[in-house]
Each structure stands twice: as structure tokens, then as C-alpha cells.
Amino acid sequence: MDVCQMKMFSSGENGDKMVHVEVPGPTLTFQNIHYCVRESRGLCRKRGPEKDILKNVSGIMKTGLNAIMGATGSGKTSLLDVISGRKDPRGLRSGQVLVDNKVVTSELRLMSAYVVQDDILMGTLTVRENLSFSGNLRLPRQQYSTGDKKKKVESIIHELGLEDCADTKIGTEFLRGVSGGERKRCSIGMELITSPTLLFLDEPTTGLDSNTANSIIGLLHRLSRGGKTIIFSIHQPRYSIFKLFDHLTLLHKGEMVYAGPAGKAMDYFQSLGYTCEAFNNPADFFLDITNGETFLSTPTEKSLAEQYRESQFCDAVVEELKCITGPSGSSFETNKKAPSYVTPFFYQMKVVCWRTALNIIRNPQTSYAQFGLNIIFAILIGLIYYQMPKTLPEAIQNRIGAFFFLIINMVFGNLSAVELFINERKIFVHENSGGYYRTSVYFLSKVFVDLLPNRIIPLLAFASIAYYMMGLKPAFTAFLCFALTLSLVSLAGVSLAFLVSASVNSFAMANALIAIPFIFMMVFGGFLVNLNSMLSWLSWLQWASIFKYGLNAVTINEMKGLVFNATMTGEMYLESQGIDYSTWGFWQNQVALLGIILICMTLAYVQLRRINRWK
């Protein structure tokens, strides 16, 4: 620690209360932060004018509790995100953020942690399992054995007072879980697992009752006394919470109106002529001032921001910032680098697949219900088309109708897959940007653990029941080809749903986008419209139809070699439809379906990588 840093830590800002710790945490400084966003207008999302969110704000955050306060829309969360490196650097017009006089880089994540406002946790896992997941992926295997990681998790559970709910599931909309305060403490524990010395929290008391909020801030206060620099945004804390703050930053419309010791904020505003009523909460008093609801005893034309810039508190910040020797220019360009990971690819696959499997097993609506519905639907189709005869004309009509019905079910039955990435988008973005795992690991875990078992196993049960109840070809090889075709059709439908799910963040938009290609594919599948009579400029659409390849494959598999009477065979019907029933004719449909799967899956992975990680 250099002389400037020692001075900044030991002296405090204008009599700031001392934070007594053996080893001080890092000091974060930010200078002349000017951040803006470009507004979008209308349904076409046209780029509008830029809007200033933060206007040349500067400050110093030291060991202890550093609160950022302000009314809604004041820019407090934006400031928190900018100094933690979670804002899009393209919006930064000027400014610099340093940690212990060093430029912020992607390595900041290794010494810092960020707790988001909404508790982003896997609801089907217990508190201990969520903490273990974080520890397994974020603690280096070279330094921590399996036993060491378990001890670390138990230490966090004890430190946060989570012993009573350690083996209780977090909870989902279908599953009752832990309380709001326990969820928040678990979210904090997920980040504390790496022993960060710099901790950011966005509105840690939002949605909590006053007693629980008091408990959470009390926990953060104890952590800060252990040598951590804790920076958080907060809206309107009660007095018992406010009095624990070491440093207060107060914002109004993107400008700094106070930055200094929390205990001296009241004296500062009273020196400006504002009077706090007896028994009024200081936090409420400050927000009333910024909102213009508290009047000056001596009116002035100067704004709060101007008065702050002329105050001794601003002078103290400017004086201390002169000690900063970091390089000039923006310090956010390096944040664009890909995050580093402390665990290897295959180990990440093991841990993430374990969690995905556990989530499926504990989610009956996505596993057992899926299996049960397939059994019921297979029996229903089997009863409708039970033991189809070989007499004309119903023999051909019933078979083609049954095949079309089956293919529709295989495609549209996978509409539920569009919610997969949408439901877990917040979890994925938070964990991926936090260095938990690679994008490829998350994607492959969904393919190998979620997609294949959840879709293929119920489908095989469906095919086994429906095939033999309908009285199709008794040969076992014919059944295998039938099951293979349905599996590829189902996976093709899922892969397209995956692509849509990875491309949008709204379930309603995803449903609209997935329905359009499915309907076009059905129209150009060869059942509703004769493909040979189609207009030439539309005929190319048939080559992108999952229905076409699926219908052709199951029709060839059943009709080839089938004799209805002396004047009609299955081959004759296939020729009349212009379907190539050779061996290659059958397998080219399988290859086409496999191609659709690979293309859509590849594009879905690309879309996952393109998801905006910036707030």
C-alpha cells in the first residue's frame, strides 16, 4: 500500500468514522464518470437521441459499508453497474475506475463479486447444493480439494446463519422453499464462496420486510469489519440500517449531491438551510430534499449538485483523487475480454450436467408429466387407428392420415422447448458473466441431459405403443426405422424451438416466432398441398420442411413392400406421389432432418453467445 492509499484509509474523509480491521480491503475510485444511453423510439426501435444517465461523477469507496442512495431514476444502480464493470462500455463517454490504483480488467471478477437485485438461484436445489455448485466451479481445483470445498461451503453456511435451512430447497412456483431473507443470504453466499474482498450488491433489501432487511444489512456490516469493501445501492432504508453506513453517496438525476461520511450528511444539508423535522428518518429527509419536498429556509438559485461541488466534501474527494496514479483514458475497454475460468471444460460439464439432471428430476411437470402425456396420447392414437386394415380405400387413407397426425404431434409437441432458455436466461447470464462456466458447457448440458433424455425416452415409449396398436409392419427393423424417424422429427422441432428460445427473451414473442415456421412447414409438407402442382417460386420452401422429410420417411417405411390387392401396391402409391422409395430415398430424408437439427443447434449456440451480458 503506497503513501496515498495509507492516507486515504487511515484519515477518513473529513472525520469519517474509522473502520477497524486488521487488513483493509481494496479502495475503489472513480473519476469523471459520464455515462449515457441511446433511446429507442417506436415499434421499429429507431435510434433516438442520447440520454445522460451519469454526469461526471467522482468518488472514493473504502473498506466498510458504502451506500449509494437516490430516488428512482437517479442513477444509483447505473453507477453501481459502471464501477463494477457490468455496464456496456460503449455508453461510457468519459471516466475511469481504479481498484487500488490499478485499471479494472476482467481479472477484477477474481477479487470481486456482484449480488443482483433479484435472487437468481436454482429453485429445485437446496441452499447447500447451490453453494456447492458455486464452490465447485469457482474454486480452483489445484488449491481446493473436494474436502476443502465442502469445508468452505459449511463455513459460509455457518457465517450466514443458514444452518436451519441448509437442506431446504430454494423453492419454485410449484415448490415451497426458504424465506426471502434466506434466499438473499444464499445469494450473498454464492458470491462469498470465492472470498472476495470487493462486494457489489444491487438493492439488497428490496422485497424484504423491515426486520429481514435489517438482518441482511447487519450481515453486510459484519462482513465489512472482516476487511471487505462493500458497495451497494439502496432506495429508502430505515434508520437502524442507515446508521450502519460508513460512507454515503447521494445522487439526483445522474449528478452527485453528496459524497462523504454517512454520519455527516445531516449536518451538511442543514448547513445548506434544510431543516429535518424531529423523529424524521435521515434517509427519508435526504430523498425529500432531492425530490424538492423540503424547502430551504434561505432560498438559492444553485442546484444541489452545484452546491456539493463547492463544498468541502467535494474538495476532499478531489484532493484524494490527486493521489491516484492510474493511466489516463477509459478503463473499460479491457472488460470486453472473454472471462477466465478456474476449472477445466470437462469438469464444468460434469458439475453443470449434475445440476441440470437434478433440476429435471425435481421438476415433475417437465419429466414425469411429459412421459405420462406421451403414453396417454400413444394409446389414444392407437385406439383411433387400431389395427388398420389393408383393404382399399381406407387402408391408404388411414395410414397417411395417421402419419400426418403423428408428425404434427412430434413437431408441435415440442413447443414447450421455447421456454427453456427464456426461463433460465437470467441464471445463465449471471453465472456465465460471473465466470462459473463456458457458454458451450451450458448449451451441451441442455442437449445431453435435458433434450435427449426428456424428449427421446418418452418418444420411444410413445412409438412402441402406437406402432403395434395401429397394426403397422410387424418387422422389427421397420419399427426401428419408424422410431428413428419420429426421434429425428422431434429433435428437429426441438432444435428450431431452441433457436427461437435463444434469440428472444419473451415467451409470448417466442410462441409467435415458432408458430410461423411450423405452419409453413406443415403447408409445404406434402399432405395439405400436392408439391408437384405448387408454384415454382414457392416450391423451394418444401426443402426446409420438417413435415416433408418426416412424412416421406414414415410413408416409405410402411408402404414399401406392402400389397393391398392384385392391382395396388405400396410402391404404386409412392410413385403416384413422386416419392423416391429407394434405399437412398429413405435415408436422404433422415440426413435432411439431421442437417436441420445441426444447423438450428449451431445457430442456437451462436445466439446464446450473442446474448447481451451488459445491463
Digit-coded pLDDT (tens) for 25-42: 889 999 999 998 876 654
Least confident of 1-5, 220-224, 265-269: 1-5
Average pLDDT across the chain, whole number: 84
Position 173 scores a pLDDT of: 78
In a domain, 408, yes or no: yes
**Strands 255-261 and 247-252, bridge-based pairing:** antiparallel
Least confident of 16-30, 78-92, 160-174, 420-434: 16-30
Least confident of 291-300, 502-511, 567-576: 291-300
Please report, for the domain that includes residue 91, its CATH number.
Answer: 3.40.50.300
Q: Are 289 and 273 in contact (CB under 8 A)?
A: no
Residues 298 and 370 in one domain: no
Position 5 scores a pLDDT of: 41
With a cut of 80, say whether residue 131 has pLDDT above it.
yes
Position 6 scores a pLDDT of: 37
Residues 256 and 177 in one domain: no
477 burial class (0-12, 13-18, 19+ CB within 10 angstroms)?
exposed
With a cut of 80, say whether residue 14 has pLDDT above it.
no
Domain with 444, as residue range(s), is 347-610
Q: What angle do CA 284, 259, 11 make, to 5 degrees?
A: 125
Position 221 scores a pLDDT of: 93
In a domain, 340, yes or no: no
* Sign of the dihedral through C-alpha 494, 496, 497, 501: positive
Residues 98 and 134 in one domain: no
Give the phi and the psi of residue 256 in degrees, each rounded to 5.
-80, 125
Percent residues over pLDDT 90 in the chain: 37
In a domain, 126, yes or no: yes
Mean pLDDT for 421-447 is 89
Position 419 scores a pLDDT of: 83
Residues 379 and 489 in one domain: yes
Residues 187 and 208 in one domain: no
**Strands 64-70 and 229-234, bridge-based pairing:** parallel
* Residue 615 confidence class, pLDDT cut points 50, 70, 90: low
Residues 149 and 217 in one domain: no
Q: At what angle do helices 583-610 and 476-503 cross, to 10 degrees?
A: 20
In a domain, 176, yes or no: yes
With a cut of 80, say whether residue 452 has pLDDT above it.
no
Residues 603 and 481 in one domain: yes
Position 168 scores a pLDDT of: 93
Residues 36 and 154 in one domain: no
Domain endpoint, select from 144, 174, 195: 195
Residues 110 and 124 in one domain: no
Domain endpoint, select from 178, 195, 212: 195
Q: Are 160 and 185 in contact (CB under 8 A)?
A: yes
Provide the 8-state DSSP code for 277.
P
CA distance 378 to 469: 9
CA distance 336 to 319: 31
Position 52 scores a pLDDT of: 86
For residue range 537-582, list pLDDT tens digits in order: 666 677 788 888 999 999 999 988 888 877 788 889 888 888 888 8
CA distance 30 to 66: 14
Residue holding cell 453453494?
131
Position 217 scores a pLDDT of: 92
Partnered with residue 61 across adjacent β-strands are 28
In a domain, 341, yes or no: no
Residue, of 58 and 394, whose pLDDT is higher: 58
CA distance 71 to 78: 13
Residue, of 189 and 20, whose pLDDT is higher: 189
Grid cell, residue 133, equals 455448485
In a domain, 338, yes or no: no
Residues 31 and 53 in one domain: yes
Residues 126 and 179 in one domain: yes
Position 614 scores a pLDDT of: 62
In a domain, 603, yes or no: yes
Percent residues over pLDDT 70 in the chain: 86
CA distance 103 to 80: 17
In a domain, 272, yes or no: yes
With a cut of 70, say whether residue 268 has pLDDT above it.
yes
Residue in 58, 67, 69, 61 with CA at minimum distance from that of residue 25: 61
Position 107 scores a pLDDT of: 62
Mean pLDDT for 69-76 is 89
Residues 240 and 362 in one domain: no
Distances (CA, A) of 437 to 120, 139, 338, 339, 573: 16, 12, 12, 9, 53
Q: At what angle do helices 583-610 and 546-559 cross, to 10 degrees?
A: 150
Q: Are 217 and 242 in contact (CB under 8 A)?
A: no
Partnered with residue 251 across adjacent β-strands are 70, 256
Provide the 8-state DSSP code for 446.
I
Position 438 scores a pLDDT of: 92
Residue type, 553: A
For residue range 209-233, list pLDDT tens digits in order: 888 889 999 999 999 998 899 999 9
Domain endpoint, select from 195, 226, 242: 195
- Secondary structure in 3-state letters for 311-359: CHHHHHHHHHHCCCCCCCCCCCHHHHCCCCCCCCHHHHHHHHHHHHHHH
Split into its structural domains, the chain has a count of 3
Position 1 scores a pLDDT of: 40
Q: Which ranges in 434-545 belong to alpha helices (H)?
A: 439-445, 452-470, 476-503, 507-523, 536-539
